[in-house]
A and B are shown apart, each in its own frame.
Chain A
Amino acid sequence: MSAPVKLAARMARQEGWNRPPVIETDNETQLFEVSMGPHHPSTHGVFRMDVVLDGERVIKLKPMFGYLHRNHEKLAENQTYLASMPYTDRLDYFCSMTNNWAYALAVETLAGQAVPERAEYLRVIMAELTRIQNHASAVGFLLQDMGASGTPLMYAFVQREKILDLFESLTGSRMMCNYLRFGGCRVDASAAWLEEARKLVAELPAFVDEFEEFLRGSEILMARTQGMGVLPAELAVNAGITGPMLRASGVDYDIRKVDHYGIYDRFKFRVPLGDHGDIYDRYMIRMLEIRESIVILEQALKEIPGGPVMDPKAKIRNFRPKPGEAYGRIEAPKGELGFYLISDGGPNPYRYRVRPPSLINLTILEDMCLGHNVADVVLIFGSVDIVLGEVDR
């Protein structure tokens, strides 16, 4: 395993930044309860936080869920395995490709289904493109949350649109791709499509350099993110935090490296780690992960072999896995996305469970926000990077 990237060397961290002092007074204060959301632009969807404030400072915060709950799991238990595939797109609607992959991996583990070589490469290409557009948008949303209204987010969306155009030309849909099948992929990518993808990947490093300047070159951003919402590594592990949030706290755990699912052991890439576990680290980790994804994409697009994209033995109709159970998980852009399936030998899953990284990463939201100003809650919450379609399911 290659050594993790030492983040501190790359960060223009301003040590000893003079934060305005907290003014202590003898004035008697009254606690104030605020309901942030569900219709608040900073909550990235319909999510509510019940916040108790002492002046500007947060002393209690309870997240409230369920505004987007449609019992995804029950729906999936009442239809065939394949019929849930397009529905997984709607979990984390920013990253439909990785949702597809996690579900396909769980079903393939359940049924003992093999995947052809070319399909594995296509899956890696799709997942890494998804990661790039998710992380770019997450950083765009950070700048939006800090008040840089519109422009930086749209700037991130320029590259995202190009990636979505690629998805659309291959799968027919920008966001609801429904691309994977148990034992392969739905359609093959043409040589022209791969050429387009190579062109796009060649453009990306320049975009990341420029975009990183937004993070590193802004004094306001430094002041508002460094040392804010610190998450200690021990708490992060115990609370089941995964993905860029965990690695920003310095825990070296990337499921692509740990499980080697798919063909990730063939690619050379590094796992960036943070030192401080604050908001700034979380965003820098995402920028660094974009760079590593570009490295993976370059290798995958170079090495992709020919051949079929579906296992010829894969069963599409009358698919009934043998009785048993399986848990399959992948490193989705937001963390560990897992599917737990129990088969009773019938055409429907007996039990279908989604392990949503967005929901579980919110477990420590209160711990991170306590003692901070209410304006910083928006940033800390944004740095978790959630999508409500996956939180509420």
Chain B
Amino acid sequence: MPEGRGFEVKTVEEIKAAIEAAVPGAGVEIVTNPGPSAQHSLRLAHEHAVAVATFLRDDEELALDFLSNVSGVDWPDKEIVEKVKVTRPVTKTVDGVEQTAEETVEETRKRVEPGSLEVVYHLYSMAKKQGPVIVRMKTVNRTDDVAVPSLTPVWRSAEFQEREVFDLYGVKFTGHPDLRRILMWDEFKDYPMRKDYVEPDDFEYEPTAHDEVAARAKAHQAAAAQEGAGA
């Protein structure tokens, strides 16, 4: 990490080892960051996330008492197009005689890699003045299984930020004390920060008294036109 932009006392490997010593079977995965910032992160398994978070906060060496930032990230389903060489038997008619021969052809195959929603937490220590330690969690998919455990019981500062991720990405935080929309209005249906979000033509369409009047006027005009045609 460039000097003067935060510092880490422990590397992610050491933190991973410390977590696994404290929470057996925690299932922590290292996510490397290829960019120049080299801010690597740890991916937590859902079932141990709260235990790991509590350890990170209360551990005397790490003392990550300050949760700075919670962000949602959307990773949509990816359609991967591959060219595969396939060898298959082909029947050919040569001089009136049927022959079977092996032939290698190039085939285009498409497969869909399922997407997910991700939540990224940036942790710092105010007591030890160190950080950041970045932890992240992924949902199973983007449609029906979008739950991750809430870390609000561990760090109160996640309260509004997790509500925001729920509001804009649709991640459901299990264990959050007050999971409601925060920026969009309560009746809003979609999740605007998702990559495939399409905005409606009219955000706040509500049937008004005017619609009724317009419908009646239309019916009246149609009837009048028919009458005129009949006469």
Residues of chain B contacted by A323 (CB below 8 angstroms): 34-35
Q: By DSSP majority rule, is chain B's interface helix, strand, loop, or mixed?
A: loop
Task: Please state if B35 and A110 are interface contacts (CB–CB under 8 Å).
Answer: yes
A41 vs chain B, min Cβ distance (A): 23
Residues of chain B contacted by A336 (CB below 8 angstroms): 68
Task: Please state if B39 and A326 are interface contacts (CB–CB under 8 Å).
Answer: yes
Q: Is A80 an interface residue (CB 8 A)?
A: no
Task: Please state if B184 and A69 are interface contacts (CB–CB under 8 Å).
Answer: yes
Task: Please state if A240 and B67 are interface contacts (CB–CB under 8 Å).
Answer: yes
A354 vs chain B, min Cβ distance (A): 9
A90 vs chain B, min Cβ distance (A): 16
Residues of chain B contacted by A239 (CB below 8 angstroms): 156-157, 159
Which of B2-10, B98-106, B142-150, B213-221 binds A? B2-10
Task: State which of A71, A353, A392 has its C-beta within 8 Å of the C-beta of B69.
Answer: A353
Q: Is B231 an interface residue (CB 8 A)?
A: no
Task: Please state if B129 and A240 are interface contacts (CB–CB under 8 Å).
Answer: no
Residues of chain A contacted by B36 (CB below 8 angstroms): 109-112, 322, 324
Task: State which of A329, A363, A392 has its C-beta within 8 Å of the C-beta of B157.
Answer: A363
A327–B5 alpha-carbon span in the complex (Å): 10
Q: Is A196 an interface residue (CB 8 A)?
A: no
Task: State which of A71, A253, A353, A362 has its C-beta within 8 Å of the C-beta of B71.
Answer: A353
Task: State which of B34, B68, B193 has its C-beta within 8 Å of the C-beta of A329.
Answer: B68
B:137-191 near A, CB below 8 Å = 155-161, 164, 168, 182-185
A225–B35 alpha-carbon span in the complex (Å): 48
0/1 interface trace, chain B 70-85, chain A, CB 8 Å (1 if under): 0101000000000000
Contacts A353-B69, A363-B160 given: A324-B183 contact, CB under 8 Å? no
A296–B73 alpha-carbon span in the complex (Å): 38
Contacts A73-B193, A238-B155, A322-B34 given: A360-B73 contact, CB under 8 Å? no
Residue of A with least CB distance to B71: A353
Task: State which of A324, A325, A338, A362 has its C-beta within 8 Å of the C-beta of B160.
Answer: A362
B209 vs chain A, min Cβ distance (A): 26
Task: Please state if A355 and B68 are interface contacts (CB–CB under 8 Å).
Answer: yes
Residue of A with least CB distance to B124: A258
Residue of A with least CB distance to B158: A240
Residue of B with least CB distance to A350: B73
Task: Please state if A237 and B160 are interface contacts (CB–CB under 8 Å).
Answer: no
Task: Please state if B192 and A325 are interface contacts (CB–CB under 8 Å).
Answer: no
A332 vs chain B, min Cβ distance (A): 13
Contacts A237-B126, A322-B35 given: A259-B6 contact, CB under 8 Å? yes
Contacts A73-B193, A258-B129, A353-B71 given: A363-B159 contact, CB under 8 Å? yes
Q: Is B65 an interface residue (CB 8 A)?
A: yes
Task: Please state if A327 and B2 are interface contacts (CB–CB under 8 Å).
Answer: no
A271 vs chain B, min Cβ distance (A): 12
A:327-381 near B, CB below 8 Å = 327-329, 336, 338, 340, 342-343, 351, 353, 355, 359-360, 362-364
Q: Is A261 an interface residue (CB 8 A)?
A: yes
Task: Please state if A325 and B183 are interface contacts (CB–CB under 8 Å).
Answer: no
B:1-42 near A, CB below 8 Å = 2-6, 33-37, 39
Residues of chain B contacted by A253 (CB below 8 angstroms): 66, 126, 129
Residue of A with least CB distance to B38: A324
Task: State which of A324, A340, A355 has its C-beta within 8 Å of the C-beta of B35.
Answer: A324
0/1 interface trace, chain B 114-136, chain A, CB 8 Å (1 if under): 00000010100010010010100
Residues of chain A contacted by B164 (CB below 8 angstroms): 359
Task: Please state if A251 and B33 are interface contacts (CB–CB under 8 Å).
Answer: no
Task: Please state if B4 and A265 are interface contacts (CB–CB under 8 Å).
Answer: yes
A193–B3 alpha-carbon span in the complex (Å): 31
Task: Please state if B37 and A110 are interface contacts (CB–CB under 8 Å).
Answer: yes
Task: Please state if A360 and B160 are interface contacts (CB–CB under 8 Å).
Answer: yes
A258 vs chain B, min Cβ distance (A): 5
A283–B126 alpha-carbon span in the complex (Å): 22
A109–B5 alpha-carbon span in the complex (Å): 8
Residues of chain B contacted by A66 (CB below 8 angstroms): 182-185
Task: State which of B67, B122, B185 has its C-beta within 8 Å of the C-beta of A327.
Answer: B122
Contacts A323-B34, A340-B69 given: A259-B5 contact, CB under 8 Å? yes
Given contacts A323-B35, A324-B37, A336-B68, 12 further A-B contacts (CB under 8 A): A71-B192, A109-B2, A109-B37, A112-B37, A322-B35, A326-B39, A342-B73, A353-B71, A360-B157, A363-B159, A363-B160, A392-B183
Tell me the A residues contacting B by CB distance below 8 Å: 65-66, 69, 71, 73-74, 105, 109-112, 235, 237-241, 251, 253, 258-262, 265, 321-329, 336, 338, 340, 342-343, 351, 353, 355, 359-360, 362-364, 392-393
17 contacts between A and B (CB under 8 A): A73-B193, A110-B36, A111-B35, A112-B2, A112-B35, A235-B156, A240-B68, A260-B4, A261-B5, A322-B35, A325-B33, A326-B37, A329-B68, A336-B68, A338-B68, A338-B69, A343-B35
